[in-house]
Amino acid sequence: MSSTKMKRFFSSVGVNLLVVLALLFILTPVIWLFLTSIKTRSEMFQTPITLFPKTFDFGNYVKIWEKIQFGTFIKNSLIMSLYNTVVTLAIASMAAYSLSRYTFKGKDFFLRYLLVSQMFPAVLVLIPLFLMVKRIGLLGTFTGLEICYLTITIPFCTWALKNYFDKITPTIEESAMIDGCSFITSYIKIFLPVALPGLVSVGTYCFLSSWNEYLFTVVFMQTQDTWTLPVGLAALSGQFALDMGLLTAGGIISLVPAVIIMLFLQKYLLEGMLAGSVKE
C-alpha cells in the first residue's frame, strides 16, 4: 500500500518537474530580456553576470524614443496591423460566407486550394510579388505591402471563418429575409453580429501576424521611415555599435500587443484556432 503511495508521489513530482522545466524553457528568454533592459550599460557587459540588476534603470525606455525613430516604427506597425485586419476581415468574411452557405462549381477545389496554398514557403510568393508590386509602382508604400500580407492571411482566415460560419444555422438569416430584409442587410445586421466571436478571433490572428511580420517588410520597405517594429529592431541588432539596452527595451515594448491579447482576447484566439483543427 505504502509503496504505491510512494510511487504515486514520485510520479507526481516527476510530472510537476516536467511542467516547471517547460515553463523555465519558455519564460527564461522573456524574463532575461526584461532584466537586461533595466540594467545599466556597464552592468550588462560585466562578468560574472548578475541575475538581478543592482540598480533599476529605466533610462533605456526613455532613450529609445530619442535615439532611434521608435515612434515611427510603432506607428507603421499599428497602421499595417490595423489595415491588414480590416481588409482581411472584409474579404475573408464574405468569401467564407459564400463558401459556407452556397454550393457552386469548383467549391471543393477552392477549399482545398486554400489549405494547400498555406503549405508553400513565403519566399515562393515573395519574388513574383516583388516583381509585380515594383511594376505597378507600389514598392515602398503601405498599400503595396498590404497586398502582399493579404496573400498570407486571407487563405487561413477564410478557412477558419468558413469552419466557424458552418456552425451558425442559416435559419437566422432566412427568417430575417422572410421578414423583408434585403440580402445585404441580413448579412450585415443579422449575420455578422452573430458571428462576432469568430470575427474577433480571426481578427486577432490577423493583427498579430502582421504585427510580427518581418520577411515581406524587410524586402518591400527600403527607407527607414516606413519600417515596422520587427524590421527596425532587427536592423538595430545588426549594427556594429550594438546598444543592447535600447534593443531589449524595444523588444519589451513590442511585446505589449501580445500581452494585451493574452489578457483579454486569448479565449477567442484559442477558440478560433481550435475550431477547425480538432475533430471530436
Partner 1 sequence: MPTLPSFLSAGERLYRNDYEWQTQLLRNELQALFAAYSSDNADKHSYSDRQHRTLLVPWMLPGALAAIMWKWLYHGSVGLINQMLLRMHIISAPIPWLASTQFVLISVVLVNVWRGAPFFMVMLFGGLQTIPNELYEAAMIDGAGSFTSFRNITIPLLKPLILTLSLYGFIGAFNFIDIILVLTKGGPAHHTLTLPLYVWQLAFVDMKISYATAVCVLMCLFLVVLLGIMMLFLKKRGGADE
Asked if residue 241 binds partner 1 (CB under 8 A), the reply is: no
Minimum Å gap between C-beta 61 and partner 1 is 16
Query: Which residue from 70, 187, 191, 211 is in contact with partner 1, where contact means CB under 8 A?
Result: 211
Q: Please, which residue, 22 or 136, has the CB nearer to partner 1? A: 22
Residue 97 has which C-alpha cell? 460566407
Separation between Cα atoms, residue 218 and residue 264, nearest integer Å:
30
Q: At its nearest, how many Å lie between partner 1 and the CB of residue 179?
A: 38
Query: Counting contacts by CB under 8 A, is residue 24 touching partner 1?
Result: no
Looking at this protein, which amino acid is placed at residue 190? I
Angle, CA 271 vertex, CA 269 and CA 276 arms, to 5°:
110
Closer residue to partner 1, CB minimum distance, 125 or 177: 125
Q: Which is nearer to partner 1, 16 or 182 (CB)?
A: 16
Which one of 1, 19, 178, 184 is in contact with partner 1 (CB under 8 A)? 19
**Contact residue for partner 1 among 46, 143, 182, 224 (CB under 8 A):** 46
Could you tell me if 195 and 164 are in contact, meaning their C-beta atoms sit under 8 angstroms apart? yes
If binding is defined by CB under 8 A, does position 214 make contact with partner 1?
yes
The interface region with partner 1, picked from 28-36, 90-98, 178-186, 190-198 by CB under 8 A, is 28-36
Q: Give the separation between CA 61 and CA 265, rounded to whole angstroms.
A: 26
Tell me the C-alpha distance between 154 and 95, whole Å. 9
Strands (E), 39-119: none
Query: Which is closer to partner 1, CB of 148 or CB of 190?
Result: 148
Instruction: Give the range of 19-27, 61-69, 95-103, 153-161 binding partner 1 by CB under 8 A.
Output: 19-27
Interacting span for partner 1 (CB under 8 A) from 59-67, 147-155, 162-170, 252-260? 252-260
Whole-number Å distance between alpha carbons of 50 and 74:
31
Residue closest to 88 by CA, chosen among 141, 144, 156: 156
CB 193, CB 211: distance < 8 Å: no
The Cα 231–Cα 216 span in angstroms is 10
Binding mask 110-149 for partner 1 (x = CB under 8 A): -----x---xxxxxx-xxx-xx------------------
